[in-house]
Amino acid sequence: MGLIRNLARSSTVIRQILIRNNHKIIMARQLHASRTDGVDKNVWVEFTQLAADYKAVNLGQGFPDFSPPKFIQEAFCKAVSGGPIMHQYTRAFGHPPLVRSLAKFFSRIVGHEIDPLEDILVTVGAYQALFCAFQALVNEGDEVIIVEPFFDCYQPMVKMAGGKAVYVPLRPKAASGAVLSSGDWVLSAEELASKFTPRTKAVVINTPNNPIGKVYKTEELQMIADLCIKHDALCISDEVYEWLTYDGAKHVKIASLPGMWERTITVGSAGKTFSATGWKVVHRLCNVFILFTACSFDDLFWSQVGWAISSGHIVKHMKTIHQNTVYHCATAAQEAVAQGFEREYEVFGSPESYFQQLPAMLHLKRNKLASCLESVGLQPIMPQGGYFMIADISSVKVDYNDQSSVDEPNDFRFVKWLTKEKGLATIPVSAFYSPEHSKEFDKYIRFCFVKEDSTLDAAEDILRKWSKGQ
Ligand SMILES: Cc1ncc(COP(=O)(O)O)c(C=O)c1O
Ligand SMILES: Nc1ccccc1C(=O)C[C@H](N)C(=O)O
Ligand SMILES: O=CC(=O)O
């Protein structure tokens, strides 16, 4: 038996090597589907691996290195030990308690009665909600306007749906001269209007924005809404950082503006909302349940939870994509998120609310990172929201001494150098731009501040030593 298993395994390995090295040996036709062309590079795959390889202090990919709040950890453990149904499939389009909680919570905010069964789709993270939106709504040849800088997955997702991404940049413009805040990055109404054509199907916005932290004002959203309505286009609004705003900036949902509910898809994320992008900390906490409930460790590799909220006539088509791809998301994770929203509904607006506590904590971390960057001569752009900050590296002269990266943009080379030589991982900002515009923005790198103070201190230590030439 063992021999047969080993033979089967080695023939699989040989086959994979043949496919990798010369697929024509196996298949005379093109092996891969053409939709994978041009979308194979991924900044997270590359830079998260680099950070791990060099064991760098990681201010790169955005995820908290501290625990989610106690109430959500407890809800998660309670769900895990909640009997057999918590380990089996639930409703394909969203666990009933979760869609009910989301509908109750967000109806109050959008100012529109959300139907839990018709108007919500629960997905594996916001990522899958975005995928379902593009697949369900973009046809071959449709144009999708994307505001730059943008979370990188929008472009490949539009392309895989057969659409064409059309870009419009936020431009740094400050009345006083120096651009110091993400609020100084603005969208020109004329420029946006000029991008619409009869093929425009949708506009994608992200507020608070990743990577710069811009929080769109109501007037800016109204301008976008007016153009969507005028040109009969949809709006895909990525609001995964909706609770994270600072200095009085207020997050506004474009879906709440007149005439926009019917044409907006609002995307949200439990990972960002409850600081649990992978439930990794909860795994450890649940070890005790593994012992007592005899469920396997694999059962506890929960997926993330995200959602899309929109009018039922739009969600209907996203459900079609979901039921033919992922079909259904982890039951216990959905149950825990439902409990989290029930709790937040009760304490909404009070100091007990995590949606107040998390931004209050991050506000301090934002200021701590900004003063550190300033003190070493890296001018930060102060974010009004989210958990990222970009900083200008153009004043820094570095001898990269790295032939492998000579053809790459300056920010890519800088980030690689900083990770490899100084042990501090960040993300190059030109990765958030289209190839047409990335050159103009390769003087910025992105730092993530949803980190323990000890991690921020370690980063500060590296930057200070470097600036002193040590
Ligand atoms: C703007 C933005 N949208 C969507 C996502 C994906 O969210 P999720 O982790 O819920 O899939 C992220 C980060 O991961 C993000 O920064
Ligand atoms: N969830 C993901 C799925 C795929 C690729 C990246 C992510 C991220 O988490 C990136 C994070 N939002 C960031 O901006 O650093
Ligand atoms: O890199 C992405 C993630 O979710 O992990």
| Mean pLDDT value of segment 317-332 | 96
127 lines ligand 1 (CB under 6 A): yes
Q: Tell how far the Cα of 61 is from the centroid of ligand 2, in angstroms.
A: 6
Q: Tell how far the Cα of 399 is from the centroid of ligand 3, in angstroms.
A: 31
Q: Tell how far the Cα of 276 is from the centroid of ligand 3, in angstroms.
A: 12
Of all protein residues, whose CA lies closest to atom 6 belonging to ligand 2?
Answer: 44
CA dihedral 24, 30, 36, 42 (to 10 degrees): 20
On whether both 83 and 208 belong to a single domain, the answer is yes
Of all protein residues, whose CA lies closest to atom 1 belonging to ligand 3?
Answer: 44
pLDDT exceeds 60 at position 5? no
Specify the pLDDT at position 10: 55
What is the pTM (predicted TM-score) of this model?
0.91
Specify the pLDDT at position 285: 41
162: region left, alpha or beta (phi > 0 left; psi from -120 to 50 alpha): left
Of all protein residues, whose CA lies closest to atom 9 belonging to ligand 1?
Answer: 125
Q: Which residues, listed in sequence order, are joined to residue 237 by a DSSP beta bridge?
A: 205, 266
Half-sphere exposure in the Cβ direction for 355 (13 Å, CA): 20
pLDDT exceeds 70 at position 297? no
Q: Tell how far the Cα of 241 is from the centroid of ligand 1, in angstroms.
A: 9
Q: Tell me if 145 sits within 8 A of 202, measured CB to CB.
A: yes
ipTM: 0.88
Specify the pLDDT at position 294: 37
Question: Highest mean pLDDT: which of 3-12, 301-310, 334-343?
Answer: 334-343
122-131, 163-172, 295-304, 353-362: range with lowest mean pLDDT: 295-304
On whether both 311 and 429 belong to a single domain, the answer is no
Instruction: Give me the number of domains the chain comprises.
Output: 2
- Nearest ligand for residue 126 CA: 1
Specify the pLDDT at position 370: 97
CATH number at residue 400: 3.90.1150.10
* Domain contains 21: no
Q: Tell how far the Cα of 152 is from the centroid of ligand 2, in angstroms.
A: 9
Specify the pLDDT at position 28: 87
Helices (H) and strands (E) in the chain — how many of each? Answer: 16, 15
pLDDT exceeds 90 at position 17? no
Q: Tell how far the Cα of 32 is from the centroid of ligand 3, in angstroms.
A: 24
Q: Which among 39, 61, 124 is the best mutation to test ligand 2's pocket, defined by most ligand atoms within 8 Å of the CB? A: 61
Of all protein residues, whose CA lies closest to atom 12 belonging to ligand 2?
Answer: 62
Phi, psi of 314 (to 5 degrees): -90, -45
Higher-confidence position of 26 and 325? 325
119-128, 300-309, 359-368, 387-396: range with lowest mean pLDDT: 300-309
Q: Tell how far the Cα of 176 is from the centroid of ligand 3, in angstroms.
A: 39
| Mean pLDDT value of segment 363-381 | 96
On whether both 109 and 155 belong to a single domain, the answer is yes
Q: Tell how far the Cα of 4 is from the centroid of ligand 3, in angstroms.
A: 36
Specify the pLDDT at position 25: 59
Q: Which among 146, 182, 272, 387 is the best mutation to test ligand 1's pocket, defined by most ligand atoms within 8 Å of the CB? A: 272
On whether both 95 and 128 belong to a single domain, the answer is yes
Half-sphere exposure in the Cβ direction for 138 (13 Å, CA): 29
Q: Tell how far the Cα of 168 is from the centroid of ligand 2, in angstroms.
A: 22
Higher-confidence position of 351 and 2? 351
347: region left, alpha or beta (phi > 0 left; psi from -120 to 50 alpha): alpha
Q: List all residues whose CB is within 6 A of at least one atom of ligand 2.
A: 44, 61-62, 125, 127, 210
d(CA 51, CA 65): 14
- Nearest ligand for residue 63 CA: 2
pLDDT in tens, 219-239: 999 999 999 999 999 999 999
Q: Residue 405: pLDDT band by 50, 70, 90 thresholds?
A: confident
151 lines ligand 1 (CB under 6 A): yes
The percent of residues in the chain predicted with pLDDT above 90, rounded, is: 81
- Nearest ligand for residue 149 CA: 1
On whether both 238 and 270 belong to a single domain, the answer is yes
Q: Tell how far the Cα of 127 is from the centroid of ligand 1, in angstroms.
A: 6
| Mean pLDDT value of segment 149-161 | 98
What distances in angstroms separate CA 349 from CA 243, 286, 356, one per listed residue? 12, 31, 7
* Domain contains 86: yes
On whether both 193 and 233 belong to a single domain, the answer is yes
On whether both 162 and 255 belong to a single domain, the answer is yes
Specify the pLDDT at position 177: 66
On whether both 116 and 257 belong to a single domain, the answer is yes
303 lines ligand 3 (CB under 6 A): no
238 lines ligand 1 (CB under 6 A): yes
* Domain contains 293: no
pLDDT exceeds 70 at position 206? yes
DSSP 8-state code for residue 68? P
pLDDT exceeds 70 at position 292? no
| Mean pLDDT value of segment 330-356 | 96
Q: Of 350, 372, 388, which closes a domain?
A: 350
Specify the pLDDT at position 151: 98
Helix, strand, or coil (residue 269): strand
Specify the pLDDT at position 154: 98
Of all protein residues, whose CA lies closest to atom 9 belonging to ligand 2?
Answer: 62
On whether both 56 and 160 belong to a single domain, the answer is no
Helix, strand, or coil (residue 315): helix
What distances in angstroms separate CA 442 from CA 32, 390, 408, 438, one per listed residue? 32, 11, 10, 6
Average pLDDT of the residues of the chain: 90
Q: Of 316, 333, 350, which closes a domain?
A: 350
14-28, 29-43, 225-239: range with lowest mean pLDDT: 14-28
388 CB neighbour count, 10 Å cutoff? 28
Higher-confidence position of 285 and 268? 268
On whether both 152 and 54 belong to a single domain, the answer is no
Question: Highest mean pLDDT: which of 28-42, 178-192, 201-215?
Answer: 201-215
Helix, strand, or coil (residue 328): coil
Q: Which amino acid is at 366?
A: R
Q: Which residue has the tokens 């002269």?
A: 397
d(CA 118, CA 311): 8
Specify the pLDDT at position 279: 52
| Mean pLDDT value of segment 84-91 | 93
Closest ligand 2 atom to Cα of 448:
15
Q: Tell how far the Cα of 438 is from the centroid of ligand 3, in angstroms.
A: 23
Closest ligand 3 atom to Cα of 45:
1
* Domain contains 307: yes
Q: Which among 42, 44, 448 is the best mutation to test ligand 3's pocket, defined by most ligand atoms within 8 Å of the CB? A: 44
d(CA 234, CA 159): 17
Range of 424's domain? 41-67+355-468
What distances in angstroms separate CA 211 from CA 3, 56, 89, 415, 428, one per listed residue? 52, 21, 36, 15, 10
pLDDT exceeds 60 at position 377? yes
Characterize the bridge pairing of strands 234-238 and 264-269: parallel
336: region left, alpha or beta (phi > 0 left; psi from -120 to 50 alpha): alpha
Higher-confidence position of 298 and 51? 51
277 lines ligand 1 (CB under 6 A): yes
Q: Of 290, 325, 350, which closes a domain?
A: 350
On whether both 267 and 330 belong to a single domain, the answer is yes
pLDDT in tens, 138-153: 999 999 999 999 999 9
Closest ligand 3 atom to Cα of 278:
4
The percent of residues in the chain predicted with pLDDT above 70, rounded, is: 88
| Mean pLDDT value of segment 101-126 | 97
